[in-house]
Structure 1
Amino acid sequence: MNIIPAIDLLDGQVVRLQKGDYNKKTVYNHNPLEEAAKFKAAGFSHIHVVDLNGAKSGSFENLPIIRSIMKETGLSVQTGGGVRSSEDIRKLLDAGLSGIICSSMAVKKPDEFLKAISSNPEEIILGLDLKDGKMAYGGWLETSDRSIEEFLNPMVEAGLQTVLSTDIARDGMLSGPNIDMYRDLQERFPALNWIASGGVSKPKDLIELKNIGLYGVVVGKAYYEGHITLNNLKQLHLQKP
């Protein structure tokens, strides 16, 4: 299982939000580059960076910081937040991002998103954020009543390979990941690479996700709050199936 350390950026700082609430933030580091360097030093080659300003504004306000992280550390980065169009995707790919996470665009511009998948199947990652069983988007401020099957099937046919799914109710809460939800999603769509996000609180959570055969997991608050060490992450990341 791929363990992907996370950096959430808001106003140029490393933060975490509770359940996506911008009014409930904790600042962990005023220097994102310093934080990224820790992951590099621990042996990681790939991280997850979210532009929380971009998720609300639709512009990549923290892209200069992300560029700096890639340039200074050599880390590959998957990013999300503010991706609204194929032009946005192209801008991020041109900036050197290895993975582009799209949520709102997939809901609001499905045809354009399908074309993006067809053109860049390895780089496009669907952000499937679930809030009380419903798909959420727009910085988790809006929800859709469409079924997951109706939503995903055309994307799978277009060549979608990877989905990052967040259980918003558990994001930033250190309450444990929704194992049943990820097991169910994986059984319903076995051809997809599923990346879990939200709720991880201790090394045992990572082992449980690994045991159900999940492709990857994003780890954020558990690390920043000291519940999981960099050494824990590294050891589990390097373990063979």
Structure 2
Amino acid sequence: MILFPAIDLKAGQVVRLAEGEMNRATVYGDDPGARARLFGEAGATHLHVVDLDGAFAGTARNADAVASILASFPGHVQLGGGIRTRADIDRWLDAGVWRVVIGTAALEQPDLVRTAAAAHPGRIVVAVDARGGMVATRGWANVTDVAVADLARRFEDAGVAALLFTDVGRDGLLKGVNLDATVALAKAVSIPVIASGGAAGIEDIRAVAEAGLAGVIVGRAIYDGRIDMAEALAVGRP
């Protein structure tokens, strides 16, 4: 299981949102590169980075901040937020991003995911973001009538590296990972699933590992000191 510390970007700052709402942001610093370096020094091998402004705008808005993270972090960087064209995908992968995360475009342009996954094996992740079990898009602002499992099954044979499942109603609130829903999704498809949203303590990390999920993204709980990085990383090691 991979532990992904999260760096969410808003106006060049490191923030955490509550339930994906931009007006409920807590700022944790104004130097994303320095934050990435600290995670690397603490032993993290992977990061999950989101351009929040880009997710709403539909195009990159924090490119300089992402560049500073790539220059500062020695491991693998997974990036999402506003990546909705093939040019966006190719540009970020060429820039050194390990995997790109496609959310809104996965629902609206499924062929984009398929062709990108074929061109970049193992480097495309589909974000399955949910409010009440239904897919949320465009920075989680729009809730569709598409069920989470239905979206995931569309990419069963597409060759994507993983699904990233986020329970938006728990994100940034320290309510605990929605393990039941995440495991249900993992059982519905053969694609590896990464858990996101709500991790509050080391027990969440252990539960995700014991469930056999591919990874877990942790944000506020690390920033607030509720989860010790070394302990969490040790849980994820085989």
TM-score by length of structure 2 reads 0.95
- The residue aligned with 1:127 is 127
SS of the equivalent of 1:145 reads strand
Query: Do 1:197 and 1:217's aligned partners in 2 also have CA atoms closer than 8 Å?
Result: yes
8 Å CA contact 1:10–1:51 kept in 2: the answer is yes
Query: Aligned with 1:37: secondary structure?
Result: helix
Contact 1:42–1:234 under 8 Å retained in 2: no
Q: CA deviation at 1:165?
A: 0.6
- Deviation of residue 112 (structure 1)? 2.2
Mean CA deviation greater in 57-66 or 31-40: 57-66
Deviation (angstroms), 1:72: 2.8
**What is residue 12 of structure 2 aligned with on the other side?**
12
Tell me the equivalent position of 1:28: 28
**1:217 aligned partner:** 216
- Unpaired segments ≥5 residues, structure 2: none
Structure 1 vs Structure 2 CA RMSD = 1.3
Paired letter, 1:216: G
Q: Write the letter of the residue equivalent to 1:40.
A: G
Separation (CA, whole Å) in 2 of partners of 1:59 and 1:147: 26
Please name the residue that 2:83 is paired with: 83
Aligned residue number for residue 107 of structure 2? 107
Q: Structure 1: how far apart are the matches of 2:73 and 2:113?
A: 31
Counterpart-to-counterpart distance in 1, 2:16 and 2:120: 30
Q: Is the 8 A contact 2:133 2:148 kept in 1?
A: no
Greater displacement, 155-164 / 19-28 = 155-164
- Given the two structures, how large is their TM-score scaled by the length of structure 1? 0.94
Matches within 5 A, 1:1-241: 1-189=1-189, 191-238=190-237, 240=238
Q: Which moved more, 1:25-34 or 1:142-151?
A: 142-151
Tell me the CA shift for residue 236 of structure 1. Answer: 1.9
Any conservation in 2 of the 1:117–1:155 contact (CA below 8 Å)? no
- Conserved 8 A contact 1:166-1:196: yes
Alpha-carbon shift at residue 153 of structure 1 (Å): 2.6
Checking the alignment, whether the CA contact within 8 Å between 2:128 and 2:151 is kept in structure 1 is no
CA distance in 2, matches of 1:119, 1:73: 26
Tell me by how many angstroms 1:149 deviates. Answer: 4.2
CA deviation vs aligned residue, 1:168-212 (integer Å, no higher than 9, x gap): 0100010111111111111111x2111000011010111111111
- Structure 2 distance, partners of 1:205, 1:150, is 26
Which stretch shifts more, 44-53 or 150-159? Answer: 150-159
Secondary structure, counterpart of 1:187 in structure 2: helix
Count of aligned positions: 238
Q: Deviations over 1:26-78 (max 9, x none)?
A: 00112111111111111222111100111111221212222222223323210
- What residue ranges of structure 1 are gaps of 5+ in the alignment? none
Other structure's SS at 2:118 match: helix
